[in-house]
A and B are shown apart, each in its own frame.
Chain A
């Protein structure tokens, strides 16, 4: 009986590079440019996917003021995506702009945190996801303001102003709903419990993070944890919510290994670009 061929799937990074194109050779894994590209897509993919999720609420929020606030927040996140992915495309130097990166990559090439691809659930789940992310996003951007890469510092400064407002808003709502009715309390607690396992990934570095941290381009993920803990503990206490004890963390999003949810999100997000590849919009 003949032996079966090797069924190992090729490395995701190689597949991603093969999918690239346009003249210039793909960036070499482990090179500073490749690290920078990866770091930037982690930032841009995370804001893109969260912006998309938030925009799914359009016209369906519990009060008009929330419709306005959510649209505004999604708009900020999409704007940040344009900057991060735009810069990623420049760094890559293979002719891909922010739109090419957003609409023409497959799931394994996306480097967003798993937290932001979690489905919206009820409004409480959406708010809790937002708060848990915002409480990380703000210290991340503050640290990026000090990046040795001036382009990154500049984008972070602009985004930081927007996100300072996001966290103020989401923290306030978590507090009010946690300490509201029995029902609102229960919903916020169950949202917290359900999302908790997806928060740890943001603070776990890999080799790319280590090299970017070493070079002062992006902060080491571990260094952001204490700020996040402080904000989360203070807000949960005021909200009368109980911080889950588990410190288990789902991982993989930053490396391109996602939940099943991302594929469905990309299917609708990328549909027009994929169906009409020759069109300009």
Chain B
């Protein structure tokens, strides 16, 4: 998932309905769009699914940055297929959000006006070809870590979207790892690019899980509703434990002097990312915030005539159908 700072809404519904709702969730039942749900559950989900959808869309940009420069036809095809998948993920997720009573246009408008966020990872630039490997390996890897548990989330359409998405994300991760393996085992320059990519993407990837549990104020309600399944720190730990051996295999160094195996917890000790940087990026001060958002705004406003044209044609075609029917009667 790419939803790292979702505020859950306070609940002020009928206590009896709320209790029955919670009982369904506790029993492992799926909530479907037509079922009663607390207003806050609905709003929180819209925000979370919307943020995830926006991340898939904005996430096309850092990868699209290299499609025209991909070094082989095969790599170009793989990257095109990946970006196509990401746009598809955006589509499923917008559809899931629409079952909650918002429109895609609404959500888009909120993204473009800055009222809704997307994952801060996409506010970092892709500077070399190795970054495309690092994005697949680390960013899709972190996304999977977040999303696999969400296949069991309480809201039916969201859970089902996750099942489809997770399959494709794990494919992306393997392809990214394959790419960076080629770089890490390549010429001295390629190896340097691979290391540089890991250096730049390591901490931003750790940030994808959201703030530390002790600072994460919105988790409790979301966890009770099974909108969130694991805590941020649990997932971050899992990610580090999975990724460190992969980096070692590549002969790359994780940029953390404090990285140390801890027998007691059967996992790695590691440094926290710089949370000031995280909040700066959220506030709009990441290296690419302005570029990403203005690229999306431009795409949307440049495309207005296209969308209007299709609407106008649909209306004309409908009017002609009606006229033909009248004439025939």
Contacts and interface: CB of A to CB of B under 8 A. Distances in A.
Interface residues of A, number: 51
A128 B119 CA distance: 35
A122 B303 CA distance: 9
A52 B68 CA distance: 6
A62 B299 contact: yes
Given A180-B313, A281-B182, A58 B302 contact: no
Nearest to B81: A75
Contacts of A67: 60, 84, 87
A269 B308 contact: no
A68 B83 CA distance: 8
Contacts of A65: 91
Contacts of A184: 305-306, 308-309, 312
B71 A180 contact: no
B87 A268 contact: no
A272 B64 CA distance: 16
A106 interface: no
B161 interface: no
A162 interface: no
Interface in A19-37: none
A280 B186 CA distance: 7
Interface string A174-186: 0111011101110
The bracket for how many chain B residues form the interface is 35 or more
A59 B312 CA distance: 25
B7 to A, nearest CB: 26
B238 interface: no
Chain B CB within 10 A, most for which of A59, A78, A82: A59
Contact of B129 (A68, A71, A175, A272): A272
B18 interface: no
Contact of B80 (A75, A187, A281): A75
A72 interface: yes
A64 B58 CA distance: 11
A187 B311 CA distance: 16
Interface stretch (A6-14, A97-105, A201-209, A246-254): A97-105
A63 interface: yes
A56 B68 contact: yes
A81 B72 contact: no
Contacts of A63: 303, 306-307
A281 B75 contact: yes
Nearest to A102: B73
Interface of chain B, main secondary structure: helix
Interface in A43-100: 48, 52, 55-56, 58-68, 71-72, 74-75, 78-79, 81-82, 85, 98-99
A124 interface: yes
B310 interface: yes
A268 B68 CA distance: 7
A184 B302 CA distance: 12
A82 B77 contact: yes
Nearest to A186: B305
Given A64-B90, A67-B87, A176-B309, A276 B187 contact: yes
A180 B274 CA distance: 52
Contact of A59 (B83, B182, B303): B83
B132 to A, nearest CB: 11
A115 to B, nearest CB: 19
A123 interface: yes
Contacts of A81: 73
Interface in B48-89: 57-58, 60-61, 63-64, 67-77, 80-81, 83-84, 87-88
A272 B128 CA distance: 10
Given A59-B57, A99-B72, A279-B186, A75 B313 contact: no
B3 to A, nearest CB: 19
Interface in A185-220: 185, 187
B94 interface: yes
B69 A269 contact: yes
A62 B302 CA distance: 7
A183 B129 contact: no
A84 B75 CA distance: 17
Contacts of A48: 73
Given A181-B308, A183-B309, A281-B75, A71 B316 contact: no
19 contacts: A55-B76, A58-B63, A60-B302, A62-B302, A65-B91, A68-B87, A68-B91, A71-B81, A74-B80, A78-B80, A123-B306, A176-B309, A176-B313, A181-B305, A181-B309, A184-B306, A271-B69, A276-B187, A279-B186
Interface of A: 48, 52, 55-56, 58-68, 71-72, 74-75, 78-79, 81-82, 85, 98-99, 102-103, 122-124, 175-177, 179-181, 183-185, 187, 268-269, 271-273, 276, 278-281
Given A59-B87, A60-B295, A124-B306, 16 more contacts: A48-B73, A55-B80, A62-B306, A62-B307, A64-B91, A64-B94, A68-B88, A68-B91, A72-B84, A75-B77, A180-B308, A181-B312, A184-B309, A269-B68, A276-B187, A279-B71
Interface of B: 57-58, 60-61, 63-64, 67-77, 80-81, 83-84, 87-88, 90-91, 94, 104, 129, 182, 186-187, 189-190, 295, 298-300, 302-314, 316
